[in-house]
Every structure is written in structure tokens, then in C-alpha cells.
Amino acid sequence: MSARILNFLSKHPFRVSLSIRSKTTSTQYVESRARDPTFEKLMEKYKELLKVISIQDLILANPKNPSLSIEFLSRLSQRLHLNRGATAFLRKYPHIFDIYYDPAKSQPFCRLTDAALDVSRQEGKAIGDSMPIVVDRLVRILAMSASRTVPLRAIFKVWRELGLPDDFEDTVIAARSNFFQLCDAHERNTHLLKLVDGALPSDHFKAAVEDWRVVECCKEDCSVDRTELQFSFRHGYPPGMRLSKNFRAKVKEWQSLQYVGPYEEVVGQKKSKAGMMASEKRAVSIVHEFLSLTVEKMVEVEKISQFRKWFGIDLNIRDLFLDHPGIFYLSTKGKRHTVFLREAYERGCLIEPNPVYDARRKLLDLVLLGRRGLPAVNSKPQDNSSSNDVGQEDNQQRHESHDLFSS
């Protein structure tokens, strides 16, 4: 038996090393990636923005009375990663959250400031105005699936990333029955979203990378060999990343490798080395296209992984991003893995912004503003009355309310 194992190892050393890496050194593989300071700084800002958005969504969940009790929010502190508690977090962003005391209910509440409400309205208007683009994004997601079907729960995971309205089941899916159809899945209480048969021809779509290839081909100083451009992807690497001669040669070979595009039908997959490489490149093309369809050209790895089976990707998506640092950038900031489409960004901003992105950046600007631009003195009469009333609540709530309303 041992002789057979040694014989196998000698014949297939590369295959075994890949298997060992993926099973035993996955964390080290993530940690050993080349860091990009620009993306890391951007994600540092996004960490706080995501918490702000979570609270904003809770406040706006009740349109008749868009407010939230501090007591209720405090119970969610751990889930929302508000490490110092709800009131401490809200006080960090007075340009976004307004904290007030409701005498009728004898407890403090929070609501959005006029500036934050204005940004929210701008985003809603931008989404409404871009409805044809929104529908096109959703159709493209379905078209990349071999069965032209994905679970509805997967769409719910990325509705914000795709720029869908929060009531997209009614305003997008139900309103466009000529494109979309909801079907029952084998699992209980699960629905599948399907692209209606014959809604669009199979060759209707062109991948986003094709636009880059056309532009690159027309340049006099084209950086990619025109004979290879047909199957190439744009590459750019983190500053300071060492590119060995062997690495460059492998990238050059990979660039010229033929593959089946994200909207094309796969007819039989070869088990040969060349076939496996082509399948891997097709997987790259699918996630590249997926990221191109998102508003901010970024998505959490856990969310895009929901589509892996439906897109016919047999690889670990996170490792796929790490294997291609010239196309994608993976950040682990904020206790989550987030992937960016590298070519879409320059100096931490989208090269080609859109109205929804612009509105969201305005909210980020309010986050970055922090407490700047506000008077240093708080209102003492309101602080005293609120502290007395809140003193009737549990220990944690008393502490947070005192911290909130004391000068």
C-alpha cells in the first residue's frame, strides 16, 4: 500500500500539493495574499458604513413612523457588531442619526437626520430611474445559469448589490412576467426564479470584458498581444507585489487559453488538464461578469457563493479570487471576505460611477464626517430628564441611556 502511495505522489506532485493547500492551509493562503493599501483603506471605511446601513434599514422598515427605540437597538448590538453598544455607536454619527426622548413612551428613540433621509431618497430615486438597467442585471444573472434558474433566496442575498428596490418581488419580478417566473423548488418554502423560455435568444448578451477587449484592440500602445486579446482579461496587481518570470509566463499562457463565455452553453466538459483549465477560466469569466453587474463592483464572497452550484462552478470561489490577484482583490476587513473587481477602481473610487453608487458614496461621506462640524455643548435639560426616565430600564439600557444623554 505504501509503495502505491509513493508511486502516486511521484507521478502527481502538483495535484497533491493543490489538494493539501486547499484542505489544510486555506487560512494561510488568505493571509499570504499581497495586500493593496487602497482597497484595504476603502474596506476600513465600509466596515462602519455597513453597520450604519443595517440600522438605517431598521429605522426605515416602518414608513409611517421611521424611528427605532434605543432599547430595541441595544438588544441587537452584538448581532450588528456594535462593540461599545448602540448609543455609543449612534453618537459617533450625529450627521446620520438623531437621538431624541419620547415623553409619551418614556424612553429614548433614534431616527435619521434630514441629511441622511435626503441621501436615502436620492438612492431610491436613482434605483427607480434605472429600472431598465435593474431588470437587465437580473436577466443576465439568470442567463448565466445553465438552467436559467437561481433560488430566490440567493437574489435576496444580493438585492442591494444589484441595485434592486427592496420590494423587487412586486416591482420587478411580478411586474415583468414576460421575463421572470417564480417556481416551487423541491425544498419546502423555497422558490426558484426562472427566466421565461424564449424571453431572449441565447446569443443576446455580451460579457463586459468584451468591451475592454474592443477598446484595448484599438489602442496603438496595446499592452496585450492582439492574437491573445480574444480570450484575455485585464490585469493589474497590488503595489509591491513581486511578479516572477515564471508567474508572468503562466499568466501569459492563461490569457491565451480558450474558454466558454458566461452566457454560452457548455457542451461536455473534458476531464483533461486543458479541459480543467478551461473550466476554471470559465468560472473566472462568470464571477467577473457577476461583479460587473453589481452597483459597486464588489460583493461578499459568502453571497456570491450562493450562486456557485447554479452557475456550474465546481471550484472554491474564494480560492479562485486568490488565484487571480490581477483581476480580483480579496479583503478580509470587518469580519467578512469581500471581493472587488480590480479594473473597475482607481484610487478607491469607481472609474465609471452610476447614480446609485453616487448616492451611497454620499452616505459614506456622512460616515467619514463623524462628529465634525457640530457644536461641542449638549443640551443639559433634555439630558437630565431622559436619564431619570431611562433609569427604570435594565442595567445595560440604563448605562447606555446615561451615556447618551449626559453632558
Element at 125 (helix H, strand E): helix 114-129
Instruction: Measure the CA–CA gap between 315 and 16, rounded to whole angstroms.
Output: 16
Is the separation of the CB atoms in 340 and 298 below 8 Å? yes
For residues 93-113, average pLDDT? 94
DSSP structure class, residue 305: G
pLDDT tens digits for range 300-333: 999 999 999 999 999 999 999 999 999 999 999 8
For residues 292-303, average pLDDT? 97
pLDDT at site 223: 64
Is the separation of the CB atoms in 299 and 161 below 8 Å? yes
Instruction: Measure the CA–CA gap between 227 and 229, rounded to whole angstroms.
Output: 6
Q: Which three cell numbers stand for residue 88?
A: 455609543
Phi, psi of 193, rounded to the nearest 5 degrees: -100, 125
Q: Which residues contact 270 (CB under 8 A, 6 or more apart)?
A: 276, 278
Strand order in the sheet with 149-151: 149-151, 191-195, 180-184
Q: Which three cell numbers stand for residue 229?
A: 486579446
Q: What is the DSSP string of 192-261?
A: EEEEPTTSS-TT----HHHHHHHHHHH-TT-SS-TTTGGG-------TT----HHHHHHHHHHHT-----
**Which segment of 14-18, 86-90, 269-273 scores lowest on mean pLDDT?**
14-18
Q: Is residue 399 predicted with pLDDT exceeding 60?
A: no
Instruction: Measure the CA–CA gap between 63 and 210, rounded to whole angstroms.
Output: 43
Band of residue 4 on the pLDDT scale cut at 50, 70, 90: very low
